[in-house]
Amino acid sequence: MICMINKSKDVDEMNNPESEQEADNQNKPEVKPDPVKSARSPTPNGQSIEAVANEDPNRDYYGRLITYTFSDILIPADSLRELYSEIGIPLDYFPKEINDRGAWKRACREIEKKRTYQEKQDTDNPEELTIIHEAIKIKPSVRQIEKTVINSENEEVNHEKIVKFRYEEPKNIQMKTLEGKEEEALKWYNEMMTKYEKLRSNYTQNHIRNTFREKVIHGNKINSVAIRRTGSVYFIPEKHAELIEKFSKLAKTLDKMSNDILEIVAIPVVKQPEQKDMIKRHIKKETVDRTSKVMEKAKEIIEEDKKINPSTYENFIEEMQSLRKKREEYKKLLDAPLDVCEEQINILRQQLQKITDNVKSD
C-alpha cells in the first residue's frame, strides 16, 4: 500500500500518527504488499484528500470521492430497467419517464447550427460558402428551420425560411412549408422525425446523468459534500458506498454501448486526521454558504416588509432541516462537534422566526 501524507499537517491535531500507526502495525497480522496506488484530489487551498485506488480490508474509510463523465448513449427504457434489476439498483433511482415534448425539442436542437459547405461556381472567382441551418424557437411548441448563407468574408449573402414544425401531441408533428421549398422542407422534416422517434423511445445520457446528480449526488438521502467548487468532485459517506458501486457498474455496462467515455469513479477516502480535517472544512463551507443565501433572502423580506407565499417559507424551513440532518450525519461520521455548522443553523432559525408574520395566510 502506497500512502501519501500532506506536508501541511497540523502536528498537534495529528498527535504523532506515525508512532500510533507503528504501534497498530505491531498488533496486526502481516499483510502482503498490494500494488494499490493512492490518488489525491487537490482542493482550492492546495491541500489534498488521500484516497486509494481500491479497497484494503485492513483500513477504515470515511467514504468515497466521486467524479463522473457521461457521453452520448441511447438505451430503450425496458433495457435500462433490466440493467437496474440485474445490478440491484432500487427503482427509486430510475430516471423519470421520457417526456415526449422534451424529445421533440431535443430533436430540433440537434439540427440547430448545422453547417454545410459548397463552392460558389457562377463567378470568375469561386469561393467557399457556409450554409447554416438553424431551428429557431417561434413559440414553445413551434420551431422554424431557417437557412443562412455566409461568404468567405463572414458576410451574410442570403437568408430564407424553409419550414415550420408545430408539436401538437405525441407523434403528431405538423409541418408548414413555404412555397417553392417543399422538397427541402420535407428533407428537414424527415431528419427531425427520425431523431424524434429515437429520442422518444430511448433514454439518453442526459436522463442518466440528471438522475445520478439529482437523486444520488444531490439527493437528501446521500448528503454529499462538494470537494471542488466547480462541483466536479464530491465526497459521499461510506454507508452509501454499495449504492455508488452499483451505479459505477451500471456506467461500465453503458460505456460499452457508447462511442465515448461513460464512467463513475469512486475512490475510498482513508480515515486519517488530515482527511477528517479536509472533510470538516468543506462541510463547514457548504453550511455557511447555504445558510447565508437563505438569510440574505430573509433579510430582504424584513427590510422591505415583503409578503411571501407559505410554500416559499416551507422551502426555507426544508433547507434548514436539510442542513441540520447533514450536520448530524457528519458529526457522527467524523466524531467531531461541527460547532460552526450548528451556530450557522441556529442563526438561520432565528432569522426565519422573524419573518413568520410576512407569510401570507392561506
pLDDT at 129: 79
- pLDDT for the residue numbered 22: 44
Whether 2 maps to a domain, the answer reads no
pLDDT given at position 33: 40
Grouping H, G, I as helix, E, B as strand and the rest as coil, residue 71 is coil
326 contacts 338 by C-beta, under 8 angstroms: no
| Whether 197 and 132 share a structural domain | yes
177 shares a domain with 44: no
Q: Is residue 6 part of a domain?
A: no
Overall domain count for the chain: 3
251 and 191 fall within a common domain: no
User: What is the pLDDT, as a whole number, of residue 356?
Assistant: 94
The pLDDT value recorded for residue 85 is 97
pLDDT value for 28 = 43
How far is residue 28's CA from residue 159's CA, in Å, rounded to a whole number?
77
Residue 243, pLDDT score: 95
Asked if residue 193 and residue 108 are part of one domain, the reply reads: yes
* 104 and 89 inside one domain: no
Mean pLDDT by 10 residues, the chain (362 residues): 37 39 44 42 49 61 94 92 96 94 90 63 65 87 90 86 91 87 90 93 93 91 88 91 95 89 92 94 95 96 94 96 95 94 96 94 76
Closest alpha carbon to 185 in 150, 131, 231, 145: 145
Domain containing 295 equals 277-358
How high is the pLDDT of residue 157? Answer: 87
Residue finishing a domain among 183, 202, 221 = 202
End residue of a domain, out of 177, 202, 227: 202
Question: Are 154 and 211 part of one and the same domain?
Answer: no
Do the domain assignments include residue 86?
yes
Pair (116, 190) in one structural domain: yes
Tell me if 118 is assigned to some domain. Answer: yes
Q: Are residues 88 and 64 in the same domain?
A: yes
At 52 the pLDDT is: 52
Q: What is the structure's pLDDT at 79?
A: 95
Q: Quick check: is 1 in a domain? A: no
Residues 182 and 238 both lie in one domain: no
Q: Within this chain, do residues 328 and 244 fall inside the same structural domain, yes or no?
A: no
| Shared-domain flag, residues 232 and 85 | yes
The 3 state secondary structure assigned to 280-306 is HHHHHHHHHHHHHHHHHHHHHHHHHCC
**What is the CB neighbour count within 10 angstroms for residue 184?**
17
**Nearest Cα to Cα of residue 239 among 251, 224, 218:** 224
Is residue 259 in a domain? yes
- CA 271 to CA 275: how far, in whole Å? 7
Q: At 97, is the secondary structure helix, strand, or coil?
A: coil
Of 202, 221, 254, the one marking the end of a domain is 202
| 5 domain-assigned | no
Rounded to whole angstroms, how far apart are CA atoms 198 and 77? 12
Q: Are 112 and 177 within one domain?
A: yes
| 117 part of a folded domain | yes
Does the predicted TM-score (pTM) go above 0.75? no
